[in-house]
Amino acid sequence: MVGFLIAMVIIGVIAGYLGRLLVPGRQPMSVAQTIGLGIIGSFVGGFLGYVLFDKDIKDGALQTSGIVGAVIGTVIVLVLYNARGNSRRPRRRHA
């Protein structure tokens, strides 16, 4: 169990920073938020791998993915987060 948690943090760091590097724009996030982003991206990548490629059907739909799937999932989560964040910001009107 401890090994799994350490692996998730390492994948979270790598996927989070690579995802932030690949998505244009500024993402003001702390290290903990970047790790969380990478971990969530890993699960998104695992879900997409399950849905698209019908892999690991015995493990279920919610699973972790490899580093490539984690980075792809992280980019998807970050793009969706940025799109949601931009629409909720109040717009300033210039006179």
9-22: pLDDT as tens digits: 888 888 899 999 99
Residue type, 25: G
5 against 62, higher pLDDT: 5
Each as own residue / partner, the long-range contacts of residues 27-34 (CB below 8 Å, 24 or more positions apart, any chain) are: 27/78, 27/82
Helix 31-53, helix 2-22: angle, nearest 10: 90
For residues 81 and 67, give the distance between their C-alpha atoms in angstroms, rounded to a whole number: 20
For the chain, what is the largest distance between any 2 Cα atoms, rounded to a whole number of angstroms?
60
pTM for the model: 0.74
Tell me how far the alpha carbon of residue 91 is from its chain's centroid.
27
Each residue's pLDDT tens digit, 54-69:
665 566 555 666 788 8
